[in-house]
Structures are given as structure tokens and as C-alpha cells.
A and B are shown apart, each in its own frame.
Chain A
Amino acid sequence: MTAEPLAAYAVVGEVLADLEISAAWLVDPMSGREGAADIVVRAGIVETVTWLDGDDTGAAGQGGIIVAPGFIDLHAHFREPGNEDAETIASGSAAAAHGGFTTVCLMPNTTPPLDEPGVLARVQAAATASGSPVRVLAYGCVSAGRAGEQLAAIGELADAGVVGFSDDGSPTRSAAVLRSALEYAGALGLPIVEHTEDLAMTEGAEANEGLVATMLGLRGWPASAEASAVGRALAILAEVVREVPGPRLHLTHLSTRSALELVRRARATGLPVTCDVTPHHLALTDAWIAGSRSWAWEDGDERAAAPFDASLRVNPPLRTPDDAAACLEALLDGTACAIATDHAPHTSVDKHVEFGQAVNGISGIETALGVVLAAVDAGRLPLRRAIEALTTGPAGVLGARLGRAVGIVEGETAELVVFDRADRWTVSSEALASKGKNSPLIGRELPGRVLVTVAQGRVAYLAE
């Protein structure tokens, strides 16, 4: 059953959206409901949502138009202020909308870092100036200057409106600072988002420590560098919990089975810890550095592409197929509540170099949906779970700071994404709205084309 063509009458960004969507497959994790529906949006408000009973079989959901709440990215880098060659808030917002994201949480490793309200004001001003309706939220630094020695102005930043705190790019260098931050931010009701990496073990590391790194002569990045840092964070959280009522720890871009298992067990004991995984960690593997181009769940040609593609160098590194499977398992059993992109755009000056010289990072906010749909198409992840991980899951981490409910509800401002699951698009430099062309998926065809993204009632992206 095909949905009728949708009619949209608004110019991107400026005008309130008017949409009529007939017989699309609506996935609404908040209500727990999924099925064929008609949706009408008028002047940016969801006017009617009419569920079409009698066609609740999976057939319509197998292909065709899908409507979901606008995606929320818990982890992205828009490089402004300080590295606008790589990305600006404007270009990043355009990229987010192209990827179906209506809310993005920016990491504070800018120049200057977001460790005091003045920098947040710059970010917010840039977001307003961009004209994009995508909601740009930000984390504040945990430590002043991300140096890991002293706490940043956590209280002031909380008042100014950050949604949490992180030293991402790096772990919080001092365990004592991490502990204080969990206590302090916990009392304010905000999470600490921790990049879990034991820096002493990863110095100079280039690729996941394993067979691929051995064969390619790349310095290994041991899995234990992640597990040990996760262990440290969980141990600290376990103590803080006894003293402060509301600490929250969110571990971002976990990539190894061992680390995810630690989180699973910690959650089973009731610790307030959550985590996310990235699309590239659940679908790509270190074999891609050797030239493979098979998804993690496929067997494939060893050398489909030239080896040592620097767009594959990322922190944490791409891991083994078993680790990728662990990421999917974590999503399935709720250990991981969210998929976050860790969108990390870089200039070609920084990326089109020898593998060992390249900076870490994958530009991934526009390809996230396609990668996730590939997993869904392969039967590795149910569609509803994928949408949850992109919407209600992240919303749970942000809590009240998100400022709105995540759903498609009559009478509420429209915040949704419409994509055609049956359509495919080829990733190319031209097709990417981000300034960051450092994607290992360039040249690859991905499933799922975003047709419309509506944020705060306005059209953020409209496909040609």
C-alpha cells in the first residue's frame, strides 16, 4: 500500500508548516502506537491524527512513507565557535534537518570551550541567526577549559540553559572532579555525559586492538581502555548515589561488549546510568579499515575498497563484529536507551592525510537514519525500537530540559520527520549539507530518504 504524495506548502525555515499526509506509517513511541494514519498539520500545529484501523498488519510498515517524531541527537559537534571551517551552527543545523533530526545537543569542545555562559550565548545567537528551526541545545564543560582540574561554572551554566555537562572529546580527566561534578550536577537535576576512555592506554592508538590492527600495522586501541573507564565512572556513581538524591550519569558512544555488559549489570542493580551507541559502531567494523564494506552483521568481501581510509578513524575506534552485535543487543534489551550520532565534521586538511595523522571523527548526522534502517531492513532491529532510540530514548536522558513532549499529538506544535523507507539515496559530498565530508559512506547507497523535517512547527528540511 503506498501513501499518497504529501503536500507541503512552506519554504524551509521561515514559514509554519502545512502538511497533509495520507496513509503513511506512523510510529509514535510515546503512545506506544504504530500503524497506518492520516496526519494533517496546519500553521505548524498538528491538527489531526487519524489512525486507519483495519490496516494494522506489518505490510504498510514494510515499505513506503513513515512518519515519526523528529529525531533527537544527544551528541553532535558543530565546531562553532572556533573551527567554522569544519562546520557552523547553520550548516550543522541544515545537516541535522537533512538527517531527520529536530533537536541536537552540542558538545562543548569548541574554541573557546563552553565552560561559561558567555560561550553558550554565542552558540544560541548563532542558532537564532541561522534561521533554522532545529532546536540547538548544548552541554557545558564538566571542568574549566576541559582541563579536568577544576569544575566549570556548573551552576551558572545550568541557569543559562545547558542540558548537561561533558568534557567530551576527552574523558573527565580527574576522577575526583568527575565525582564532584556528579554530585553538583545531580543536585541540579542535570546529567553528566561521560566520554569513557582511559587515556594512558590509548596514547597514539589508531585502530581497535585486534587482528585488523595487527595485520595493517596500526597501533592498537584496547577494548579495556573503554571498560576500565566505564568501571571507574560506575564505581564513582555508586558512591555518589548514596549521598545525593539525583545524580545521573550518561555514558556516550559505548562501543565494546565488555563496557556494555558493565552498564547492563549496573542498571540491574538500579544505578542511574544510561548510555548511547552510535550508528557507525553498530553497523561498521574495523574490517572497513582493511577495505571491507560489509555491514557488521554480514559476511563480505575482504577488500571491496582501498584500505587505510582516514574517514574511518574515530574515537572510540570501529570495533569487531561482535562488539557491533553487542551494541545492537544493548539497544534491544534497553541497556542502551539511545542512538546518538557523535557527528564530528572535519575539514579535508585534517582528514585527507595519512591514517595515523588524521584527526578522529565521522560526519554522521545525515547518514544515521540510513545506517539504522539498514539494520532494520536486515532484521537486526525492529523499526519501532529504532525510532524509540532516536526519540523517546534521548528525551529520557534530557528530561525536563528538552522542554516538550516527544510525540505527534493533536494540538501540539509539530515536531516530526517524514521519510520514505523504500527509497534509497547515494551518499556524496554534494548530497551532504554538512561541511564535513568525512564520511566513510560516500559512494554508498543507503535506504530511507528524508522527505520533510518539521521542527518547532516550521519546515527545517524539504526534499526536492
Chain B
Amino acid sequence: MTAPVSERGPAPVQPIVPTVDEAPGLSPVPWSHRHLLDVDILTWDEIELVLRTADAMREVLARPIPRVPALRGRSVTILFYEASTRTRVSFEVAAKNLSADVVNISSASSSVAKGESLVDTVRTVEALGADMLVLRHPVSGAPHLAAEVFGGSVLNGGDGWHAHPTQALLDLYTMRQRLGSLAGRKVVILGDVLHSRVARSNVWSLTAAGADLWLCGPAPLLRGFGAWGPAAGFTVTTSIDEALHDADAVMALRIQRERMAAGLLPSLREYAARYGLTRERLALARPDALVLHPGPMNEGVEIAADVAAGAQSAITEQVRNGVAIRMALLYLLAGVTR
């Protein structure tokens, strides 16, 4: 049997079967979180539990019928206040693979557009039978408000600039698959860090994993992180050469047009020229360095098309792993819900 993702060196990607010969004495890690709103509340043992459970979910996904009845009879409502196809569908697929009933609400089609408050919407969703709520919202802290009024479990699908816990966990999972242990490995997050919930959540998970984390981008988009770096143990730099040098993994973040309008960046062209992840820049990193992107990508801006499609890119694995991680989290949270 192949060993689990934990302590191995780089290996080719294959549909890994989780171990069936568990070492004696491995004690179960209790999971007591009713909600998952951020990554920083998880202990490292809990993160490992999520990753191991995701291993089992990947085995389920590899079956002819990728379905288990673990959440049969549970109702999952996916409530997205921000347009997002990939994450919303990823959650829906995850919930359905666990045999849950899924209700998918995107804000454009719902009463939210008519100005119903979040609190009222959550209460309505609960009255309609939802056991679990997956929420994506443009305002930081919205899932915490939802968790206050919702009787079941809330899973944060991304809130404002604050957190995107499922993304950070799937990023961690993907990196560990390819690189093994991340302790001491140089991981670079590149781009619009200031506005990125992906960056913030990855800061927590990667520092917990012991990675040598670097954040890099133009100065206005790193605002505030220079003070956080020393406290949390990551490095902040505006020099892309310094950041990429000998890196084991590079995560490129999406750059948005709104940043120009807000006076934070001169132009997308300038950003691409100075910070775009091209083949030449990637060559500064280690030869087998991993390339990641939370999506959707602006090819030609923060990431070159050939890099996104190249051999070092783990972007499609991120998407596949996203379903497994979300299945794992829905499963773990369901054990705590009424």
C-alpha cells in the first residue's frame, strides 16, 4: 500500500489510496467545531485530520460511483453573495457526493437583491430546513454574523478580504501531495495580498505548517503586512527576484481592475511586467517548484498562459482537491451539527 501524503519526498501525482494499514496507536482527533469560519482556529492536529479525511474522500472520488451516504438526509444550502462559478459548483458537487440535499442560491436570483438583510435571509434558509450553510459574502466577518443566528453549521466560502479556509486547506493539501512536508519549504504568495482572503488564510495554514513563507507584490498591495510578518513568521518583500529565488512553490493571486481605479496600481500592463509569473521568472525558483493559483486566472497578467498550463502547474489538482477538501469539511462539520 502506498503511504499517505504526510512524510514523503516529491512524487508523481497518482490517485492515491489512503492507507489501510494504519499504524497501531494512532488516536482519533476529536472534531468539535460546529462552524468553519477561519483557518486560524484549527490546531495542527485538526488540520491533519482534515487532510487525512480528504485522502479518504479522494478515494471515494476515484470510484465508478463517487458517492457515499454520509450526509444522507442533511440539507446543505449554498448561499453566495458574490458571483463565483467554480467554488459554488465545487461545494455543490462535494455536498451531492455525500448524498446531501443541496439548495444553491446565488444573490442575483434571490431576495437579497431586494435588500433583505443577511440575518433575515439566514433565518429564512434555516426555516426552510437547512442543516448546513455554505456562505460566500463580500463583507469581512459576514459568516460570523450568520453563525450567530444559524442553528446548524456555517462553512465560510470566502468573506470579503478576511478568510477563505477551504481554499487554504486545499492549497495546503495540494502542496503536500507534491512536496511532502512543508516544514522549511519556501512558499511564495505573489500579487494583490492586501485584498486577498486567500492570502490571509494561507498565512495561517502555511505558518502553522512550518513553511518559509514569503509575500511579494507592489508596495501598496502589501500594506499592513510588513507589521504582521515578524509577529507571524513570514517575510514581506517587493522584490520578485528575491522572493522567487529557490522557492519550492509559488501561488499567484488574481489582480483586479478595481485596484487601478482605487489608485493603488498604475496599470495592469505595469503589474504584468514587474510581477507577472512568466517562464523566465519561474526559472528563478527550484526546477520542480509548484505553481498554484486560486482562480479564476487573468492569463497574461499575473500568470503567463504557458506557466499556468505547464508541467509545474498544480492548478487543476487544486480544483480536484477542492472537492475532496470540501467533502471532508462537510463530513466533519455534520458530525457536530444537531
Contacts and interface: CB of A to CB of B under 8 A. Distances in A.
**Chains A and B share a contact (CB less than 8 Å):** yes
Contacts of A353: 117-119, 145
A220 B142 contact: no
Interface in A347-366: 349, 352-357
Interface size class of chain B, counting residues whose CB lies under 8 Å from the partner chain: 20 to 34
B102 to A, nearest CB: 24
Contact of A217 (B197, B223, B227, B231): B197
Interface stretch (A13-21, A99-107, A208-216): A208-216
Interface in B32-67: 41
Interface string B207-232: 00000000000000001110110010
B118 A218 contact: no
A308 B119 contact: no
A215 B144 contact: no
Nearest to B164: A217
A211 B203 CA distance: 14
Nearest to A220: B224
Contacts of B119: 352-353
Contacts of A213: 224
A354 B118 contact: yes
A211 B228 contact: yes
Interface string A81-120: 0000000000000000000000000000000000000000
A356 B224 contact: no
Interface size class of chain A, counting residues whose CB lies under 8 Å from the partner chain: 20 to 34
A357 B140 CA distance: 10
B9 to A, nearest CB: 34
A397 B154 CA distance: 51
Interface in A331-359: 349, 352-357
A307 B139 CA distance: 13
Given A209-B224, A210-B227, A355-B140, A215 B200 contact: yes
B172 interface: no
A129 interface: no
B141 interface: yes
Contact of A357 (B41, B139, B200, B227): B139
Contacts of A211: 224, 227-228, 231
Contacts of B137: 354
Interface in A202-241: 206, 209-211, 213-218, 220
Given A306-B147, A306-B148, A216 B228 contact: no
A352 B149 CA distance: 10
Given A215-B200, A217-B162, A217-B200, A356 B227 contact: no
A461 B53 CA distance: 60
A214 B231 CA distance: 12
A308 B141 contact: yes
A218 B231 contact: no
Given A352-B119, A353-B118, A356-B160, A215 B140 contact: no
A300 B75 CA distance: 39
A312 to B, nearest CB: 11
B161 interface: yes
B163 interface: yes
A357 B117 CA distance: 10
A463 B162 CA distance: 44
A426 to B, nearest CB: 20
A217 B140 contact: yes
B161 A306 contact: no
Interface string A305-329: 0111010000000000000000000
Contacts of B117: 349, 353
Contacts of A355: 139-142, 145
Contacts of A220: 223-224
A214 B225 contact: yes
A289 B63 CA distance: 45
Q: Which of A220, A308, A349, A353 has the most CB of B within 10 A?
A: A308
A307 B145 CA distance: 9
A211 B230 CA distance: 11
Interface in B145-159: 145, 147-148, 159
B263 to A, nearest CB: 11
A216 B162 contact: yes
A355 B137 CA distance: 12
A209 B162 CA distance: 15
A461 B224 CA distance: 47
Contacts of A352: 119, 145
Interface string A375-411: 0000000000000000000000000000000000000
Contacts of B148: 306
A162 to B, nearest CB: 37
Contact of A214 (B147, B159, B228): B228
A354 B224 contact: no
B208 to A, nearest CB: 14
Interface of A: 206, 209-211, 213-218, 220, 303, 306-308, 310, 349, 352-357
Given A206-B140, A211-B227, A355-B140, 5 more contacts: A211-B224, A217-B160, A218-B160, A354-B118, A354-B139
25 contacts: A209-B224, A211-B228, A214-B223, A214-B225, A214-B227, A215-B228, A216-B140, A216-B162, A217-B160, A217-B161, A217-B197, A218-B141, A218-B160, A220-B223, A306-B148, A308-B145, A349-B117, A353-B118, A353-B119, A354-B140, A355-B139, A355-B142, A356-B140, A356-B160, A357-B139
Closest 7 CB pairs of A and B: A308-B141, A217-B161, A217-B162, A214-B224, A354-B139, A356-B139, A355-B141
